Amino acid sequence: MALCVDASVAVAAHLPHPCGPAARQLLAEALVAEERLVAPPLLFAETTSVLRRHVHMRAIEHEDATAALDELFALPWSIVQEPAVYLRALDLARRLGHGRAYDVQYLAVAEMENCPVVTLDRGLHESAQALGIASRLIT
Amino acid sequence: MNGPEGMITVQEAARRLNRSIEQVRRYLRAGKLRGRRIGQQWFIDEASLRIPPLRYQTGPSREGKLREAAAVMEKRKISKAEIEALFKRIDRRVEALRRRLGGDVRTDIVEMLREDREAH
């Protein structure tokens, strides 16, 4: 079994954020239950960018972002990087009528791994539901 | 039995790869091929035959330092003690940051992601 984690959860888990404790608990419980944390490669790019934006707006220091990213990489992520992810994302975006194919990459991985996706993003959560993909929304 | 679009039977995958059916099943179990079970039958994602899948995992090395991403096919085991230690470390750092900031960050992470995606 696996849990597909999007960047919103990854960032919240590594910063003082109202959803942080729930995000960390979910990740820890999944790993203790020997579930894999899966994601598309986009996870690291998006997490890095959002952490950088926190630094740029002076919400945190550069060293805080570095430490958060270090700890993110310390977790045993299974990054699914293969053409099928992007082909599936393209198809899911078409089915949802989305003009872009970023967040659907998480849905593609969740579908391929036959596992739920976890997110803070209500829009992604609703997209997953519309596609019949299990989803957990952290609020 | 015909599979969904883009999916082929295990037998067909074995033929194309010039491998035995059992070998294809082993590839499936190892995650080297992607597949989906429909009813009683497994189907292979055709795209996973064309280009070898690349998976990499992150995590602490034996020295406890950040491990560089490396192509691995097998599932990495992490002990419960390691997991607890990792999350204790994260909790400590986040709590220290919270104290320094005087509370949680007041940012909308979801909106930031949305802006990033729209900017590309």
Taking alpha carbons only, the member of A30, A105, A51, A95 closest to residue B87 is: A30
At residue B14 the predicted structure's pLDDT band, cuts being 50, 70 and 90, is: confident
pTM: 0.75
- ipTM value, please give it: 0.92
Flag whether residue B28 sits within 8 Å of chain A, measured between CB atoms.
Answer: no
* Rounded Cα gap, residues A123 and A8, in angstroms: 12
Q: How far is A131 from chain B (nearest CA, A)?
A: 16
DSSP designation for B5: T
Which positions in chain B touch A80 (Cβ < 8 Å)?
55
Which positions in chain A touch B80 (Cβ < 8 Å)?
32
Q: Which of B51, B75, B117 sits opposite A36 (nearest CB)?
A: B75
Question: Can you name the residues that pair with B8 across neighbouring β-strands?
Answer: B44
Query: What distance lies between CA B55 and its chain's CA centroid?
Result: 7
Residues A16, B60: C-beta atoms closer than 8 Å: no
* Pairs across A and B, CB distance < 8 A: 139
pLDDT in tens, A17-67: 999 999 999 999 999 998 999 999 999 999 999 999 999 999 999 999 999
